[in-house]
Structure 1
């Protein structure tokens, strides 16, 4: 690392900065904006004209967290801020603190204990809509959410007393908790103690977490959604589990990093069906693993669309008709029983009819 600029001539104090890398502009929370296309010689561009606690900028469009004035959105292409939209009244409103954008959604935190984070649809800046609320779920009441950063389909939240909280936002209408790491394990915690900063954006995938009391934590996050079939189990950590749930554990890897292992387990159902089939006494059908010509109940197991068992029960019926229905032009040579002995016609007995064309028919004539 080489320092190329080190002076307070342009900035003396600021709570935070954000760099729009595409347009090479550096924004401060004091309102000042600088051109950093030449990072050795940054220059002042303009002042936003108002103050804010934090911000997110993407391609000259800024999302500003303005304390009690909610979320304010401006466009700065011409270095003259142009108002685009705002959200000043919304559920679980408090001190608007920070946020992060991905595609057409913006996630926002109010820095007040017990208040949920918000998912906002920003596809129409004239009609901003809160589409979901979510929180750490820690009882008796969630702690104070601080900074949040989105990486891929996850948002990483520094959640003060509740440590690092990770949520899957692949469905922004229904964020689900995907993992956590408690940097402040004491059961007695209130206010602004614990985790107040997180960075999940490093190329290595390592997560840096800063705790006010405990210092720096270096973590890895391994998220593994899994599904198993009804009645099966899967190994997680050191034991087999079979119930639908979110399973979490912390381990140390070979580098000494804390690895957060997470498995979101869902259960796919087996399917069951019953079919009734009737065949002629001289026919057969493949059920129960082989060709069958005897009445009974047979079971076959296939795979359904989820890859689980599809269990088909077949009730097989044999239709036996009068011998008169089988009169043909072929000549009957002889009738034998099951042992091959010639036999005369008998009612209610299975016999084999041998014809001059080489065919053999098994017949039974049923009479009352």
Structure 2
């Protein structure tokens, strides 16, 4: 990779295997760090960056072999100034740490705390990382993210070298993650893989995803029902095999069983009556990832209070599952059982898609009447 072109000409780069699946903005940070994030965002917004000749967004993911067209110039990245944290923020930062190694800090992110800042978001994990940059210690760096309302394991790199190492691990899908989720109702098929391509839903400004069989990016999630509370709710283990935005939330909703508390994708049907919290019940329970020097990080994050209370209310025993990803493969089944499971899964999925289309039709009719 080259830096800024003194000749001021358009540059083209081929995406390598090591960068397969990386976000465009992170690709720039890795290979053209002298170009600031604001410039990358503006170039993408105005169509000056092209991937295989097409316009892209700053958070779109790249694939091996694609050609990235980069315009000449670009404002240098502005060094980030350290922020002054109050005692409460420093206490929160310290309380989140569940494992510290020479290469990483592993945090248990609470629900409601954003990973990064944005418009109107002043309190976030990235800001709190200044608490760990004392003296000569470099400031830790984010290498992956969790949604604001998702809790659980979040790894941050302690050095620039380990940040590059972990970023490659996540981009190559060699980091294994297990999530716990409470969902409304109980899937007909107790275990399987949801294979449903995802794309940004038109008209939402990229803030919402949906299943798009023809134009979506590949997205696969392995799931298993750990326990059930009658027909009211189920406790699932989820293992994302790809890393699309909101993947687990959209896939559970597409299965016909939205995550409890996820009104964005489940609407009013995502909430249970009684004493069950209205907060989202999605938790990054376990992370297994290789680290520099042959180290292996394997961590489990405790449940947040609202999730633990709902588990107790529904009669679920957390000790019933503490599966590492390597233990997460379903047991062998006979060909007949596999065929029955596939037919039931397909039926459930088609039913969910019909319901989704009917819901969109009702919304369109409602908008038309309002006009």
User: Normalising by the residue count of structure 1, what TM-score does the alignment of the two structures yield?
Assistant: 0.25
Structure 1 or 2: more strand by fraction: 1
The structure with the larger Rg is 1
